[in-house]
Amino acid sequence: MAYSTARRIGRRSGRGWSRWTFYLASGPWQPETVDALVVHWINYLSDEEAAIEIPIPIGPVLVTCQIPDGVQMERIEWQYPEMREPVALEYEASGAKVRFAIPRLIAYGMSVLHLRDE
């Protein structure tokens, strides 16, 4: 299973969306060899006035995710390329939905939802 979504997120000013409107893209993927659901996150918010692209961190990002039938959450980890070790995230599971928060997203990161059979 693989698909992606993009969402318009941003602050509103008195005259509509401010210049800090940005897109947050996510793409979930379920590997065949591991009991996990991996969600890739891309933050497209950057300083467009700079000479080079400078990402503007966002967060926390609140997430509601539907997990596959027949499994339960075991744990959720957050990681991005510069990290040495993933960080365990707290979550709330209710039926086939799980809620958690990504603490901070600079440019790219992954939330790994480790699953186990019911």
Rg (CA), the chain: 16
pLDDT 10s digits, 51-84: 888 888 888 889 998 888 888 999 999 999 889 9
CA dist 22 to 4, 8, 108, Å?
16, 6, 14
Q: Which residues contact 94 (CB under 8 A, 6 or more apart)?
A: none
Torsional sign, CA 100, 104, 105, 110:
negative
Q: Hey, what CATH topology would domain 5-117 get?
A: Immunoglobulin-like (2.60.40)
pLDDT 10s digits, 77-96: 999 988 999 999 999 999 88
Provide φ and ψ at 95, rounded to 5°: 65, -125
